[in-house]
Structures are given as C-alpha cells and as structure tokens.
Amino acid sequence: MNATMSHTSAASLDPADWTQLRAQGHRMLDDMFDHLAGLRDKPVWQPIPDAVRGAFAEPMPSAPTPLAEAHQRFMRDVLPYSVGNTHPRFMGWVHGGGTAEGMLAEMLAAGLNANLGGRDQMPLELEKQMVRWMAELFGFPQTAGGLFVTGSSMANLVGVLVARTSALGGQSRKTGVERAGGGELVAYTSAAAHGCIAQAMSISGLGTDALRLVPVDADHRMDIVQLRAMVWADMAAGRRPFLIAGTAGTVDTGSVDDLNAIADVARTCGAWFHVDGAYGALGMLSPEVAPKLAGIERADSLALDFHKWGQVPYDAGFILVRDQADQLAAFATPAAYLSRHDRGLAAGSPWPCDLGPDLSRGFRALKTWFTLVSHGTDRMGAAITHSCELARHLQARVLAEPELEMLAPVALNIVNFRFRAEDGQDADALNTEIVADLHESGVAVPSTTRVKGQVAIRAAIVNHRTVASDIDMMVDAALAFGRRRRRAHGASVSPASSELAA
Ligand SMILES: *Cc1c(COP(=O)(O)O)cnc(C)c1O
C-alpha cells in the first residue's frame, strides 16, 4: 500500500498528507538534536519574559493551527524557558540530565500509544525484564515484584501502602485502618528523609503523627542508637512499629543510612524495612558507590528513580517489592471489565494494575530499556562515579577559597557550601541572593537548602554532561556575585559606621 495514500474520514485526526508530516517531523527531531548538541553554549536558565508568559493566556482554539506553527511557538516560547536540567551546569535540586536515546524511545512509545495497565503484550515483557534486572541488581529474590510509577514520591507511597496492608492484613482494605484492629501503628524514618515519606503516611490514613523522625548523626545518617530507643519506647507503650524507612542518598546531603543496622532493628521488632533510594540506589551500578549501599539487599521494598542518576527522561520512578504477593495483597482488585483469561489478549495475569494504584499507564520501561541497552551498565555506572569525583573536585575548590566554607560532609555527589558573610551581614540572605544571581546570570544553577539551620548553596551533580570546568565556572561565578554583594553591603553600612565613629 502506498504510504502516502489517504484513507482518512472527516473524524480522523490523522494527517491528510503524511509526506508533509514526515518532513515536519524530521525538522522537529533535528531541532531537538541541535538543541541537545549545543547546550553548553546556552544559558542554563533564563527568566520568562512577561510577553511570552502572557501569550499562553489565549482561549482554547476551535480551529486547527498548522503543526509547523505550533512547533515554531514551542521553539521560540517554551524550549528556551524550561528548567535547564539537560544543561551541564545545572546542579540544582536532584535532576537527571536525560539522554537522546531515551527521548527517541519516548517517541516510539507514544507512536505505539502503549497502555501498560495490563493485557498480553510485548511492552509488558520489557517491564517485567526490568523488574528482573532490578531484582538482580539489588540482590532481591526471584519472588520480587516491581512497577514503574511517576517518581519516588509515588514509589515511596506504594511502599508504605504495601507495608500497611502487610501489617494490618488484607481485610483492612475493606474495614479501613481504624477498624482493622491492628493496634496503633508507628513508623520511623530519619530527620533527613524526604518529605514524601511523611506525605505517604498522611495519604495512607495513618497520619504523620505516627511517623517518628529519628535524629541524624554528624554525617547526616539515621542515629541507630536513637532508633532503637524510640522503637523500644513505642513498644513499651503498647504501640506497634510496622515500618522503618531508611534512605540511600538523602536529598539534602547525599548521606546513606546504615541499611544493615536498620534491617537488624526492623527484624527484631517485626517491622517492614523500606529503603528510599530515589536517587542513590542506582549508585549500585558504580563500583565506587555500591559498597556504601550494603544492606539494601535486605529491604522489603525499595523506591528508586531512573530519571535521576539513571538519566532516563522524566518520568521514570520505580518500586521494587521483595515478594510480589505482598504487592498483590495491597492492590489487586477484581473487576468484571478487567477479567483475565488464559488465552487471547486478556491473558498474562497478574497485570501492573494489580500491583499499584494506576490502571492506564505509559511505556516508561521503553525509555529505560533504551537508555540501559544503548549505554550498558558499565558506562551508566561510570557516569555515576564521575559525578562523585566532580563533587570532590568542588569540595577541593571550596576548601581552597578562603571566602567559601563547606557546610556538610560530601557523601556522594551533593556539595553544600556557602560564601562567608561579613560581620553584621546576614549569611542566609546573602547566599540565597547569590543563588538567585547565579540563576539569572544563566551561568550555572545550584539550589539552596538548610543544613543545621543555615542556608547552603547546594550543588547536586547528577548530569552526565557535567565536567570539571563547569564546576569551576559555577564556583568562579558564585565568588564574583558574593564579592559584589559584600561590597554593596560594605557600601550600605559604611555611612552608619562612620556616623558611629563621629
Ligand atoms: C527525588 C527524591 C524523592 C522524590 O522523588 P520524585 O521522583 O521527585 O517523586 C524522594 N526521596 C529522595 C531521597 C529523593 O532524592
């Protein structure tokens, strides 16, 4: 059949002319390749002009716009004003850099319009293979179940929900938490844990009051002595520890909890051992980082993101559960319209919709598979090792500059530092301004956080494109902005101090 021949009805949304669409599609692809190949010469981020923001307040269109025109608007009004996490000098928050292969895979997945809620289809075999690969990578048994989700916020929620059902029994899904008769459930995570653990407690109906935030030690790791004491006190008071969530790579400083010690405590008190490995877990691919994750193989469930250190384009979160039966117990629900068969397209049970809250879901496994197979795990691991080396390079630069100081130890790839303020100058405000100056300059994008109550300039080096000279440019620019603000401060306080002198 001639591919250019049109068989469209008036209701179809297919193009009238595939040849024209093909040419336009190639232009769009070329534009994206040009963008990715030329990242380094562009600003990391730039403020959105009012006119550009305002242009998207238009009414919903009733008539068609040519694709070429929509594409032009994307190139002119959207692409230049995005977050910039593909850029080698993006070090803000914990964002992955993406890959061209992952981008192409997204196009293929969208072309299939694959819905991975269930049914007997090859796309699901790719997802199952990814579950087996992750079980192997993290030393989980063959009983393991897994599921792609949006991100680790959702993966941690799934982990908490599986732990809750495991503690209260399947009947609790019917009676609700209150009338399940499982006693007063309490959970533990460190004070440095991500806020989504508390959010998961809230969403699960257990409440954040039932989450104990265990203090951290000088290295920002969960204090195990305190954990034991808190567990013991709760048990003595008749409460029931049901979940301990360790973190492999805290979002603020990259610290890794002592997972073996937490596993021991969890075993002693009969609690579920969950690991939030959102960004750090894939450090398992790096021979340098892997030993720091010892004990992760003992987790009952593990949340991780392929879209951070795994460099897969957003979004690609993942939950791995030691025993798939626990996941099924928490989520599988019979429904007539989802009935299974042993043959035909309705075969292949269990389906992903039995393992988590989503029914319709995209083909996240494809971009993850493309990224992994096109680079191989050695190169993926080398990129992770390299980002840790760059963090040590940044630490060395900070230590060599008298105007800068470190605020936390470097565990993996996250560096917290700051510009020293002058006497009488507010250091928190100063460093907050320096980071905003950096953003607006387009030179580099770190973010801020608070470490022991102090505002830190936080550089999370995740992007595989970052090199040492990018780190140097960020440090040089931070120094320049810090000096300028210190001079300005000196100028603004000098009249007052001269008055004092007079
Ligand atoms: C990023 C992160 C999360 C949240 O994951 P999302 O993918 O953004 O939902 C949770 N925990 C840690 C430690 C993280 O770094």
311-323, pLDDT tens digit by residue? 999 999 999 999 9
**What does the pLDDT read at residue 499?**
42
- Closest protein CA for atom 15 of ligand 1: 251
**Average of per-residue pLDDT across 52-58:** 94
Q: Specify the residue with its C-alpha closest to ligand 1, atom 5.
A: 152
CA 162 vs CA 178, 335, 434: distances in Å: 17, 20, 43
The pair of three-digit structure tokens given for residue 447, joined into one six-digit string:
């973010």
DSSP 76: I
**Nearest alpha carbon, ligand 1 atom 14:** 278
At residue 337, the pLDDT reads: 84
With vertex at residue 199, the alpha carbon angle to CA 273 and CA 170, rounded to the nearest 5 degrees, is 55
- Domain covering 376-500 in this structure, CATH number: 3.90.1150.170
CB 274 within 8 A of CB 136: no
Distance CA 233, CA 378 (A): 46
Test site for ligand 1: of 93, 156, 194, most ligand atoms within 8 A of the Cβ: 194
Q: Which architecture does CATH list for 108-374?
A: 3-Layer(aba) Sandwich (3.40)
Q: Would 108-374 and 376-500 be classified into the same CATH topology?
A: no
CA 196 / ligand 1 centre spacing (Å): 8
DSSP 329-383: HHH----GGG---SSSTT-S-S-GGGTSS-SS---HHHHHHHHHHHHHHHHHHHH
3-state SS of 254-318 is: CCECCHHHHHHHHHHHCCEEEEECCCCHHHHHCCCCHHHHCCHHHCCEEEEECCCCCCCCCCCEE
CA of 194, closest atom in ligand 1: 11
18 vs 6: CA distance, rounded Å: 8
Question: pLDDT, tens digit, for every residue of 188-211?
Answer: 999 999 999 999 999 999 999 999
Q: Do 464 and 479 touch, CB atoms closer than 8 A?
A: no
Given a contact cutoff of 8 angstroms between Cβ atoms, the answer to whether 319 and 413 are in contact is: no
pTM above 0.85, yes or no: yes
User: In this predicted structure, what is the pLDDT of residue 489?
Assistant: 86
Give the Å distance between the CA of 350 and the centre of ligand 1: 28
User: Among 196, 252, 449, which is best to mutate for testing ligand 1, by the most ligand atoms less than 8 A from CB?
Assistant: 196
Instruction: Give the β-pairing of 447-451 and 414-419.
Output: unpaired
Query: What per-residue confidence (pLDDT) applies to 2?
Result: 53
Average pLDDT, the chain: 95
- Ligand 1 nearest atom to the CA of residue 156, by list position: 10
Assess whether the C-beta atom of 276 lies below 6 angstroms from ligand 1.
yes
pLDDT in tens, 85-121: 999 999 999 999 999 999 999 999 999 999 999 999 9
pLDDT at 500 over 50: no
Name the residue of 83, 276, 414 to mutate for ligand 1: max ligand atoms within 8 A of Cβ: 276
The whole-number pLDDT of residue 496 equals 46
Q: Is the peptide bond before 234 cis (omega within 30 degrees of 0)?
A: no
The predicted-structure confidence for 352-392, as pLDDT tens digits, reads as follows 999 999 999 999 999 999 999 999 999 999 999 999 999 99
Print burial letters for 2-28: b (CB count within 10 Å at least 16), e (below 16): eeeeeeeeeeeeeeeebeeeeebeeeb
Helix (H) or strand (E) holding 66: none
Long-range (24+ apart) CB contacts under 8 A made by 202-208 are 203/157, 204/157, 204/160, 204/161, 204/164, 204/177, 205/176, 205/177, 205/178, 206/160, 206/164, 206/177
How many A from CA of 93 to the centre of ligand 1? Answer: 10
Confidence of residue 31 (pLDDT cuts 50, 70, 90): very high
Domain ranges of the chain: 108-374, 376-500
CA of 198 to the centre of ligand 1 (A): 13
The answer to whether the CB of 188 is under 6 A from ligand 1 is no
159: closest CA among 139, 182, 187? 187
